Structure 1
Amino acid sequence: MPENKQAPVALIVGASRGIGRQVAIDLAKNGYTVVVAAKSASNAAVVKPFPPDPNSQQSTVSTVEREIREAGGQATAIAVDTRDFESVQKLAAETIRLYERIDVLIYNSGAIWWASVENTPMKRFQLMQRVNPEGLYGTIQACIPHFKKQNWKARIIVVSPPIYSRFFRGKTAYAMSKVGMSVLTKGLAMDFERDGRHEMAITSIWPASSIMSAATGQITRSDPDAAKDLRKPTIYSDAILALLNAPSKDVNGLLTLDEDFLRGHEGITDFSKYSLLKGAIPRRIMPAKFPDLRVVEQNDEGRRTDSTVLKTEFKL
């Protein structure tokens, strides 16, 4: 099938399985050309049965590409290691070489270790920092030159949570990495607004209830009853599609939840179709209301310091 060069291009980092795979498939169904990127690749032609379990190791960017293409969509699989900035730069450059632009960047890659500080080894802590905030930062840095050439017209979606203190409990190292991603969302959104880049928007989105994935699948294998509290990943892809269709000004800098955005912006009140088990009502794991991070002096920056300018002055 000839490729539609007019289709918007979505680069989805962390698209080999689970939520990322579902987002890639559903964006392709809705007319996007998708670049599915993750560390795991394979020979999709020999995978049996096909398609593989979407939450298993057999699901890779290669099998996701095949799924999308066999359904009539446009997709390209590219392996990437988000811990390696050069690898990320090559990913962005190859996407541009193939499709000439990046309209949507979705960062779904994530390293997880839920434990206390005492029980989080240094290597686990470092892995989460490198894959989560550092990987996101590097991916955005790699895409910025291309966004600039596109006259700053693009959307960025980040898989990270609203910021609130209960999230830190029992998983501090993990929370440090994920909240760092949300801080990046807030800060970059302010940059876009300050610089008049009104067609750019960056948004963070997080599940209101647990979603079936490779991580939650481990829990249900040990406790089958836990499945009643899980939702299908389609709620997440539906929320992302709604975010992409919303005006930039409404979502730039927003830290939101899938259910809350679908309810508030799409008017959806019945979420039963997303329950993994028919008739079940999954427990909401996120607070109903989040703290406002702004302060009274929000707009008073004082004297702004720019290190790039100071560096130039110092050299002079």
Structure 2
Amino acid sequence: MKLRDKVCIVTGSASGIGLAIAKKYVSEGAKVVIADLKLEAAEAAAKDLTAAGPGEAIGLAMDVTSEEAVNAGVAAVVTKWGRVDVLVSNAGIQIVNKIEDYAFSDWKKMLAIHLDGAFLTTKACVPHMKAQKGGAIIYMGSVHSHEASPLKSAYVTAKHGLLGLARVVAKEGGPDGVRANVICPGFVRTPLVDKQIPEQAKELGISEDEVIKKVMLGGTVDAQFTTVDDVAEVALLFAGFETNALTGQSLVVSHGWYMQ
């Protein structure tokens, strides 16, 4: 097992991509923290994953935009398990609108969850990783970390920002064995994406079927959505690759939509 007894914090992991990553980590023997705004859902997910084993999981309430909540959550993890080996900053939402119609409050909310959340969780975990001379920080970027799409000004800005943050963390953490990388999925059929389909159809004046076939999958090589399991496999790669050889990199998982 690649992650036996590694302590892994995965934010926004009560469902979707985060849950798939948590499941993969537990299957590889890790001790996983399901950190999510929805404590009840996080605890239920943790119970199911622990029952499946061979690793174990706990649920933890965490608002990644709150420095106090993040610091308290990470401290609780260290108290329970003594260390932090992997951080997956996955918590995120989506709000689509044209720039001229984009509410400033929505802009700030998007950047707070995606960027402030990544910064605050990193800041809280890095001292523990440096002290133990090793750790992996994984940011959930997107194809939109490299590419742009209409209606997604805040999302594209935030996902581009994660590349810069990862590279700085890689430079600063390298001497102490702390790696940082970004996973950049294409469209993954989660509730977050399902919500976008009617919204984009309305804003672009096209059918929902056209949104799927042309906007979301038109650039892929096989007209297939990326799966949560695809992303989880990459999260396992970055978590288990324990040298600096891959640090500071982004890996696109998009069925060929975007190629580096």
TM-score w.r.t. the length of structure 1 is 0.69
Q: Is the 8 A contact 1:13 1:109 kept in 2?
A: yes
Cα separation, partners in 2 of 1:86 and 1:39, compared to 1, 3 Å: same
Q: Is the 8 A contact 1:25 1:64 kept in 2?
A: no
Question: SS where residue 170 of structure 1 aligns?
Answer: coil
Per-residue CA deviations over 1:194-242 (Å, capped at 9, x if unaligned) read xx22x211000111x3212111233578947949632321011111112
- Aligned equivalent of 2:218: none
1:109-188 counterparts in 2 under 5 A?
A: 109-151=91-133, 153-161=134-142, 166-167=147-148, 169-188=150-169
Cα separation, partners in 2 of 1:219 and 1:131, compared to 1, 3 Å: closer
Going by fraction, where is helix more abundant, 1 or 2? Answer: 2
User: Matched residues in 2 for 1:125 and 1:219: separation?
Assistant: 17
Cα separation, partners in 2 of 1:220 and 1:63, compared to 1, 3 Å: farther
TM-aligned CA deviation for residue 119 of structure 1: 2.1
TM-aligned CA deviation for residue 246 of structure 1: 2.6
- Aligned equivalent of 1:204: 182
Question: SS where residue 31 of structure 1 aligns?
Answer: coil
User: Matched residues in 2 for 1:165 and 1:36: separation?
Assistant: 28
Q: Is the 8 A contact 1:41 1:62 kept in 2?
A: yes
Per-residue CA deviations over 1:158-180 (Å, capped at 9, x if unaligned) read 00146776426432222112211
Number of corresponding residues? 238
TM-aligned CA deviation for residue 19 of structure 1: 0.3
Q: Is the 8 A contact 1:16 1:40 kept in 2?
A: yes
- Aligned equivalent of 1:31: 29
- Aligned equivalent of 2:90: 108
Q: What amino acid is the match of 1:156?
A: I
- Aligned equivalent of 2:48: 67
Q: Is the 8 A contact 1:161 1:255 kept in 2?
A: no
- Aligned equivalent of 1:233: 228
- Aligned equivalent of 1:242: 237
- Aligned equivalent of 2:202: none
Cα separation, partners in 2 of 1:284 and 1:96, compared to 1, 3 Å: same
- Aligned equivalent of 1:94: 76
Question: SS where residue 118 of structure 1 aligns?
Answer: helix
Q: Is the 8 A contact 1:14 1:108 kept in 2?
A: yes
Q: Is the 8 A contact 2:180 2:249 kept in 1?
A: yes
User: Matched residues in 2 for 1:16 and 1:40: separation?
Assistant: 7
Cα separation, partners in 2 of 1:177 and 1:31, compared to 1, 3 Å: same
User: Matched residues in 1 for 2:243 and 2:146: separation?
Assistant: 28
Select the residue among 12, 15, 18 that pairs with 1:17: 15
User: Matched residues in 2 for 1:96 and 1:165: separation?
Assistant: 35
Identity of matched residues, %: 21
User: Matched residues in 1 for 2:123 and 2:16: separation?
Assistant: 26
Structure 2's unaligned 5+ residue stretches are 199-206, 214-222
Q: Which has the higher contact order (CA 8 A, sep 6+)?
A: 2
Per-residue CA deviations over 1:231-268 (Å, capped at 9, x if unaligned) read 32101111111222334322210011136xxxxxxxxx
TM-aligned CA deviation for residue 115 of structure 1: 2.3
Higher alpha-carbon Rg? 1
- Aligned equivalent of 1:288: 259
User: Matched residues in 2 for 1:166 and 1:12: separation?
Assistant: 25
Per-residue CA deviations over 1:130-159 (Å, capped at 9, x if unaligned) read 1111111011111122223213x1001000
Question: SS where residue 25 of structure 2 aligns?
Answer: helix
CA RMSD of aligned residues (A): 2.3
TM-aligned CA deviation for residue 111 of structure 1: 2.5
User: Matched residues in 2 for 1:165 and 1:240: separation?
Assistant: 19
User: Matched residues in 2 for 1:75 and 1:90: separation?
Assistant: 18
User: Matched residues in 2 for 1:164 and 1:137: separation?
Assistant: 16
User: Matched residues in 1 for 2:197 and 2:162: separation?
Assistant: 28
Q: What amino acid is the match of 1:171?
A: K
